[in-house]
């Protein structure tokens, strides 16, 4: 028998809201409420509320914490100030990506790592085995809920409910405060390409916060948003999804994540391997493409050129805002320039596609 699916503290809320629940990374999660296209467009035009409590959170605290993170992760953790968030990677010694994550510097020697839901157990085993030092790890995934408020109306909505000035929180920064009376880490981050916040709260208060946001957000046109639209929103931004676009068989350079690998910072796990790829240049690259012929590319479809297989689609769908069939995939570096054409094999037939400028839709995140 399959292992029982885990549920977030908001499971009952989703069911009552009429969500369609599906298995995702070991969790029973809402894939959609009213419909993926409508939810997607509402996030682009107004504001949407996401339950992403399935994500994992680890804390590491102690005098050795900065050094441990510097060795475990590819970005320069020493550049992270208290109150700042950093996107980073865990790599294995071959340069394969164990996970992508965000790191929060809570205090001088205390950090929080947010990891992908499907990787919680693998990452926990990895960091506790490879991340030894004068610091202690704590897995706080179960007691932590995570809500994302995303869209052009997110700032106004969060601002009305928070007891801190959310307009002062810069992109990839966070503040501690209360939102609708609930103690939260208020983080100006997201996975949609829109302005907005991710709110970390204790699991027991997730329902209160959800209800308060849905209620106060009525005036802003808020809707609950499922994982279906979360996926199409991130695809329009060409944000990588672990397990689809990146995994332990892909390296950060070919995935276009070289900007979070700081070779010059000193030793870290995977450095020699990644440095080699960087020096030689990647053989393949993760590109964003648009279908020229009318067809939908899907994860796992083959990419062909002149009938021969040259790569693979890692993500593909209809982009509800750009109103085109778009995708991401690995192709040889010599076929990875904007304008380069290839075919995607859809039901045995090659359908033309071309590499385009990404993001597919211009990012609206607050960069100030």
Q: Which residues are at the interface with other proteins (CB under 8 A)? A: 20, 31-32, 35-38, 228, 232, 294-296, 298, 317-318, 320, 325, 347
Question: CA-CA distance, 353 to 350, in Å (whole number)?
Answer: 9
Considering beta carbons, is residue 251 or 351 the nearer one to other proteins? 351
SS3 168: helix
Minimum distance from CB of 145 to other proteins (Å)? Answer: 25
Considering beta carbons, is residue 48 or 320 the nearer one to other proteins? 320
Query: Dihedral, CA atoms, 189, 75, 92, 287, nearest 10 degrees?
Result: 60
Minimum distance from CB of 23 to other proteins (Å)? Answer: 13
- Alpha-helix residue ranges (DSSP H) falling in the chain: 11-16, 36-45, 65-72, 120-130, 154-161, 206-216, 227-236, 271-280
Considering beta carbons, is residue 7 or 20 the nearer one to other proteins? 20
Considering beta carbons, is residue 270 or 327 the nearer one to other proteins? 327
Minimum distance from CB of 317 to other proteins (Å)? Answer: 6
Considering beta carbons, is residue 3 or 323 the nearer one to other proteins? 323
Burial class (CB in 10 A: 0-12, 13-18, 19+), 216: middle
| Strand-pair category, 284-291 with 349-355 | antiparallel
Question: CA-CA distance, 289 to 360, in Å (whole number)?
Answer: 9
Minimum distance from CB of 298 to other proteins (Å)? Answer: 7
SS3 332: strand
Minimum distance from CB of 52 to other proteins (Å)? Answer: 18
Minimum distance from CB of 7 to other proteins (Å)? Answer: 21
Minimum distance from CB of 232 to other proteins (Å)? Answer: 6
Considering beta carbons, is residue 20 or 160 the nearer one to other proteins? 20
Question: CA-CA distance, 118 to 110, in Å (whole number)?
Answer: 24
Nearest-Å Rg of the Cα atoms of the chain is: 20
Q: Which residue has the tokens 């790599």?
A: 91
| Strand-pair category, 174-179 with 223-225 | unpaired
Considering beta carbons, is residue 88 or 232 the nearer one to other proteins? 232
């Amino acid at each position: 028998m399959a292992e029982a699916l885990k549920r977030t503290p908001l499971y009952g809320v989703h069911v009552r809201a009429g969500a369609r629940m599906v298995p995702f990374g070991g969790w029973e999660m809402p894939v959609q409420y009213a419909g993926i296209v409508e939810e997607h467009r509402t996030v682009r035009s107004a504001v949407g509320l996401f339950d992403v409590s399935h994500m994992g959170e680890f804390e590491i605290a102690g005098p050795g914490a900065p050094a441990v993170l510097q060795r475990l992760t590819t970005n320069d953790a020493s550049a992270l100030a208290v109150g700042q968030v950093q996107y980073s990677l865990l790599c294995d010694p071959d340069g394969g990506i164990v996970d992508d994550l965000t790191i929060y510097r809570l205090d001088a020697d205390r950090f929080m790592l947010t990891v992908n839901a499907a990787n919680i157990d693998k990452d926990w085993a990895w960091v506790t085995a490879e991340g030894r030092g004068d610091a202690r790890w704590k897995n706080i995934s179960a007691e932590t809920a995570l809500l994302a408020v995303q869209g052009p109306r997110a700032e106004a909505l969060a601002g009305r409910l928070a007891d801190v000035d959310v307009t002062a929180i810069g992109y990839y920064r966070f503040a501690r405060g209360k939102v609708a009376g609930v103690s939260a880490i208020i983080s100006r981050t997201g996975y949609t390409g829109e302005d907005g916040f991710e709110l970390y709260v204790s699991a027991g208060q997730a329902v209160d916060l959800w209800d308060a946001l849905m209620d106060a957000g009525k005036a802003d046109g808020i809707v609950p948003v499922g994982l279906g639209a979360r996926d199409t929103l991130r695809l329009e931004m060409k944000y990588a999804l672990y397990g689809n676009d990146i995994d332990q068989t892909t390296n950060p350079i070919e995935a276009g994540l070289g900007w979070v690998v700081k070779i010059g910072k000193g030793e870290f796990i995977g450095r020699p391997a990644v440095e080699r790829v960087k020096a030689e240049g990647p053989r393949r690259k993760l590109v964003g493409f648009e279908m020229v012929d009318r067809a939908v590319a899907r994860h796992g479809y083959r990419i062909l050129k002149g009938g021969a297989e040259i790569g693979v689609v890692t993500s593909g769908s209809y982009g509800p805002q750009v109103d085109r069939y778009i995708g991401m995939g690995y192709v040889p570096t010599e076929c990875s320039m904007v304008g380069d054409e290839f075919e995607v094999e859809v039901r045995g037939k090659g359908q033309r596609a071309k590499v385009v400028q990404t993001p597919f839709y211009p990012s609206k995140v607050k960069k100030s």
